[in-house]
Amino acid sequence: MEVSTPGRICLFGEHQDYLGLPVVAMAISLRANLKGEKRSDQKVVIHKLDLKQSETFFLDDLSYQKPRDYFKSGIKVCQNAGITFSNGFECYVTSEIPIRAGTSSSSAISVTWINFLSQMADEPPHWDQKKIGELAYKTEVEEFNEPGGMMDQYSTAIGNLIYLESEPTLSIKTLNPNLGAFVLGDSCEPKDTMGILSRCREARLELFEVLKNLNPNLNIQKYRDELDLSDLNEDQKTLFQGTVQNRDLLNGALAELEKDEIDHNKIGQYLTRHHSVLRDVLQVSTSKIESMMDAAQNAGALGGKINGSGGGGCMFTYAPENPESVAEAIESVGGKSYIIHSDEGTKVLI
């Protein structure tokens, strides 16, 4: 049995989904694969071929031994969803997705794992992609009480380009514009995903708590200019205004993406404006990311942004006409580049 799942980039709504705000995300043509078969005993062996590591545990002891123990939590979540396993597994994991770089390599593997487990259960449940995304979210976020929204798990599970609202209820819409090529650039700088997410998330959750105490009916998705911000300090005002700016940029870009004929230049401009807020307000860019962005723009990219939590990791640019030149430009300033396209969601290959 072999299962394959894409990575993803966030086009619009970066650092917004954990606040309950919408996102536009695109699954990409770099994928994680898991090949596996049942064993005759209850042992689970995961060979992580790219990392030259392996992990072994038994089905009768799923106690977590490390932070983010996702292979165990995935089995627990599946069992809680009603499926059983009489046998362990021998599995081999490989991935084309840059690791710890903001392209959801971890979520792609978690989604792949849930899909694999659903196929190998004593009585396979025939879950659809959305259900697999839901269980992967529980596996990664709910089981460990970690910061993060639902974008990564649903985007990699469902695939292609989606618009996702998580509040007041989950709503996912597939978008079908003819976007063409993007170029992903890995800065190869390590990043502290949890630290950045916590900093950006906690600062704004605290801010919204203050605002909701002053304005109990506050709905950030519908807010225009009716709030009195005089009780906020300057940093809080900037943070709030940046959050609203990113919300408005998403809404403008979404309207463009839903057109029969999209304006590629406009999409590029929306991406660059989104990046400006992430850089200047949330301060999640780096000097190397900026030099990669400048090189890409000078080579003809229409726009771009940092991707993922930031502080390192990846950026991407929109380059539907000359992706090869843009990829070379990113490499010339020390980045590692990948020409990528929209791709389908998690699937069984064998």
* Confidence at residue 204, expressed as pLDDT on a 0 to 100 scale: 85
Quick one: average pLDDT of 225-249?
87
Question: Are residues 11 and 155 both part of a single domain?
Answer: yes
Question: Are residues 120 and 6 both part of a single domain?
Answer: yes
Spatial contact of 185 and 335, defined as CB atoms under 8 Å apart: yes
**Paired tokens of 324:** 């090869």
Question: Are residues 312 and 280 both part of a single domain?
Answer: yes
* Domain membership flag for residue 195: yes
Single residue among 123, 151, 176 that ends a domain in this structure = 176
The domain tally of the chain equals: 2
Question: Are residues 283 and 193 both part of a single domain?
Answer: yes
Contacts of 223 (CB under 8 A, 6+ apart): 244
Residue 101 DSSP label: S
Question: Are residues 42 and 76 both part of a single domain?
Answer: yes
- φ, ψ of residue 174 to 5 degrees: the values are -85, 130
Question: Are residues 186 and 108 both part of a single domain?
Answer: no
Single residue among 176, 193, 223 that ends a domain in this structure = 176
Residue 350 has pLDDT above 90, yes or no: no
* Domain membership flag for residue 349: no
Mean pLDDT of the chain: 93
* Confidence at residue 300, expressed as pLDDT on a 0 to 100 scale: 97
Q: Looking at residue 329, which CATH number applies to its domain?
A: 3.30.70.890
pTM, 2 dp: 0.93
Question: Are residues 202 and 290 both part of a single domain?
Answer: yes
Question: Are residues 152 and 195 both part of a single domain?
Answer: no
**Paired tokens of 228:** 């009195």
* Domain membership flag for residue 345: no
Closest CA to 163 of 53, 17, 38: 17
Q: Tens of pLDDT along 112-158?
A: 999 999 999 999 999 999 999 999 999 999 999 887 789 999 999 99
Question: Are residues 39 and 89 both part of a single domain?
Answer: yes
Closest CA to 164 of 16, 323, 345, 60: 16
Q: Looking at residue 133, which CATH number applies to its domain?
A: 3.30.230.10
Quick one: average pLDDT of 235-249?
92
Structural domain that includes position 186: 182-340
3-state secondary structure 301-328: CCEEEEECCCCCCEEEEECCCCHHHHHH
- DSSP for 18-60, written as a single string: GGT--EEEEEEEEEEEEEEEE-SSSEEEEEETTTTEEEEEETT
* Confidence at residue 172, expressed as pLDDT on a 0 to 100 scale: 97
Closest CA to 15 of 196, 154, 168: 196
Q: Tens of pLDDT along 154-173?
A: 999 999 999 999 988 999 99
Residue 12 has pLDDT above 90, yes or no: yes
Question: Are residues 158 and 11 both part of a single domain?
Answer: yes
* Domain membership flag for residue 347: no
Single residue among 176, 196, 215 that ends a domain in this structure = 176
Question: Are residues 213 and 279 both part of a single domain?
Answer: yes
* Domain membership flag for residue 232: yes
342 - beta bridge partners? 28
* Domain membership flag for residue 94: yes
* Domain membership flag for residue 348: no
Question: Are residues 207 and 162 both part of a single domain?
Answer: no
Spatial contact of 176 and 26, defined as CB atoms under 8 Å apart: no
